[in-house]
Amino acid sequence: MPPTTTAPLTQVKWDDVLDTLDAQRCVLFLGSGALPAPGGGDIDTALGQWLDAANPEHPHIQVYNPDGFLLLRKQRFRRHVVANMKEFYSQPFPEAETLFSRIARLPFSMVVTLTPDNILARTFDVLGLDYQPDFYFRNRKAGDQFEKPSRNKPLLYNLLGNIEEPESLVLTHGDFFDYLESVFRGNSMNPELKDELESMERYIFLGLPYEKWYFQLLLRVLSLHSDKLKEIERLALKEFEDPRLHKIYTEEFKIEFFPASAEEFIAELYQRCDADGMLKTLPATDPAEAAIPDPTAEQLENLLAEAKTDEAMLHLKVFLDRRKPRSYALANALVVLRNRRNLLRQRELRGTIDSRDASVENNQIVEQLLALIAQAQTL
């Protein structure tokens, strides 16, 4: 029997949602409102506090606008700010990971995020589920190779850039206007990906920034208002305090709103997919991993010396898995590092990173891996 639906979600056409999911014609959009901060609360507020962005004496940030865009004191400070943001997104996000672990098992073939982090991808890594990462890099040519997304290998797409590529991020008003220009020109998104998006029958929006001035413009430049897409079902959560905004989104963009949280919606969808046998099965423990003996620090360092970085990461993962729960902090750091390496490969395939920069990035990953190896030996 299907689960008992909470009151705000009784009007959702669940059978239709499950049908489009099963047909791989349903795409999930996740905004910052669907990403709980560590300890709970608003992620944008938590990030601003982490950056100390409201400090009038901040050495790098001149203004932190209510719309989330920054005004930097000098352009060269961008990398300092991004480095600080990377530290923020690299910490554990237990509340988000609980939500994302359910999303990862749902049969979406495509998940589009409006935040620059890789927390969802890290959750896939932890669960051992396959995926393909990609992101929009304004005014940079998209890769020629396109693998059709599927429920077993969904596309996780950062729509506004990725934290691992500082120049791809939309941090300032100037970045955003460059982004719009790039979208208008049809740059940076693979045409087959565009076709894939337009072939969908249902969009589900969770935690998107409807109240921010630029969001309507973003929907328009992504053609989410066009006549071509008028038959697509658009489902979103939470109603607006401002009835004028609500009217614009329901009439102009044909979005149907339900007053429920992202957590409530995903919990309901998860239970219904479970009842219908649609959840992805978690992979069993790899016998090859079970056969790996505990490595010494010297053995791991030798693997790195032989440029066998992935093998070293795998051996360290097995070592840490056997020492949980006391190894959780190091295991999380390793997941972040493995995800960073996966994204570096993606950038190399797309040609969005110079070979010298890729070499520097890889050396940084190896250095951090050596630090983790040293810490692991104290467990």
As a whole number, mean pLDDT of residues 59-65 equals 90
| pLDDT mean across residues, the chain | 86
Mind listing the pLDDT tens digit for each residue in 97-132?
Answer: 899 999 999 999 999 999 999 999 988 888 888 898
Question: Is residue 16 a contact partner of residue 26, using CB atoms and an 8 Å limit?
Answer: no
How would you class 261 by CB atoms within 10 Å of its CB: exposed for 0-12, middle for 13-18, buried for 19 or more? middle
Distance CA 150, CA 156 (A): 11
Distance CA 110, CA 103 (A): 11
* Phi, then psi, of 255 in degrees rounded to 5: -95, 130
Distance CA 267, CA 248 (A): 29
List, by residue range, all CATH 3.40.50.1220 domains of the chain.
7-38+89-275
As a whole number, mean pLDDT of residues 244-266 equals 86
pLDDT value of residue 240 = 65
The number of CA neighbours under 13 Å toward the Cβ of 107 is 19
Q: ∠ CA(168), CA(170), CA(174), 5° rounding?
A: 110
Tell me how far apart the terminal alpha carbons of the chain are, to the nearest angstrom: 46
What pLDDT band is residue 3 in, cutting at 50, 70 and 90? Answer: very low
What's the whole-model pTM score?
0.81
Secondary structure (3-state) at 158: strand
DSSP state, residue 157: E
Task: Decide which of 191 and 24 is more confident.
Answer: 24
Distance CA 159, CA 202 (A): 18
Distance CA 306, CA 312 (A): 10
User: 5 pLDDT exceeds 70?
Assistant: no
Q: Which fold has domain 7-38+89-275?
A: Rossmann fold (3.40.50)
